[in-house]
């Protein structure tokens, strides 16, 4: 089984280059636990292989072809009425459409969960990418 085609460091580099024109938004590779208080910023989880399924072409042609699904999460912790929130969220949402960044993946999808607190907003984006893997 091969490793995912992108790394957490590449995602952080991409976000730092794409989020421009706004005040500094800290981007961290240390993903917070669910029960911790987290300061304003963006947090990126490690990319890992979530599951592996036999590809239909493999069944038809007796090959060793698999669909591998890699996953990672991005958490954006903001405050209510943050003037930068729309820009930052737009960059994260458009990231799924960047075919040159996700080179080698066939599909990239994400889900978005939003938690509104008394003064804070926590946006969690869960990405899933599908790639083809061949076992020789």
* Joined tokens for residue 38: 């987290």
Whether residue 2 is contained in a domain is answered as: no
25-43 pLDDT, tens digit each: 888 888 887 767 778 899 9
Q: 94, 99, 104: which is closest to 130 by C-alpha?
A: 104
Q: Which residues share a beta bridge with 121? A: 78, 116
Whether residue 3 is contained in a domain is answered as: no
Tell me: pLDDT of 2 over 80: no
* Enclosing domain of residue 72: 8-134
Tell me, what's the pLDDT at 66?
83
Tell me, what's the pLDDT at 30?
85
Whether residue 108 is contained in a domain is answered as: yes
Of 37-46, 54-63, 115-124, the range with the lowest mean pLDDT is 54-63
- Split into its structural domains, the chain has a count of 1
Environment class of 3 (CB within 10 Å of its CB; exposed 0-12, middle 13-18, buried 19+): exposed
Q: Report the phi/psi class of residue 124: left, alpha or beta, with left for phi > 0 and alpha for psi in -120 to 50.
A: beta
Tell me: pLDDT of 24 over 80: no
Tell me, what's the pLDDT at 33?
77
Tell me: pLDDT of 56 over 70: no
Query: pTM of this prediction?
Result: 0.87
Whether residue 40 is contained in a domain is answered as: yes
Whether residue 103 is contained in a domain is answered as: yes
Tell me, what's the pLDDT at 11?
95
* Contact assessment for residue 114 and residue 122, using Cβ atoms and an 8 Å cutoff: yes
63-88 pLDDT, tens digit each: 678 889 999 999 999 998 888 889 99
Question: What does the mean pLDDT of the chain come to?
Answer: 86
- Beta strands 41-44; 27-28: pairing state: parallel
DSSP states of 36-98 = S---SEEEEPPPEEEEEEE-HHHHHHT--EEEEEEEEEEEEEEETT-TTHHHHHHHHHHHTT-
Tell me, what's the pLDDT at 130?
92
Whether residue 66 is contained in a domain is answered as: yes
Whether residue 119 is contained in a domain is answered as: yes
CATH number reported for the structural domain that contains residue 66 in this entry? 3.30.2000
């Amino acid at each position: 089984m091969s490793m995912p085609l992108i790394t957490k460091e590449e995602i952080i580099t991409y976000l730092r280059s794409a989020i421009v024109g706004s005040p500094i938004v800290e981007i961290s590779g240390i993903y917070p636990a669910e029960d911790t208080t987290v300061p304003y910023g963006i947090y990126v989880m490690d990319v890992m292989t979530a599951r592996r399924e036999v590809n239909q072409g493999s069944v038809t042609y007796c090959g060793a072809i698999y669909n591998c699904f890699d996953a990672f999460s991005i958490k954006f912790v903001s405050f209510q009425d943050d003037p930068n929130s729309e820009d930052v969220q737009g960059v994260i949402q458009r990231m799924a459409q960047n075919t040159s960044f996700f080179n080698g993946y066939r599909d990239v999808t994400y889900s978005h969960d939003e938690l509104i607190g008394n003064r804070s907003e926590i946006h969690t984006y869960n990405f899933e990418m599908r790639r083809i893997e061949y076992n020789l």
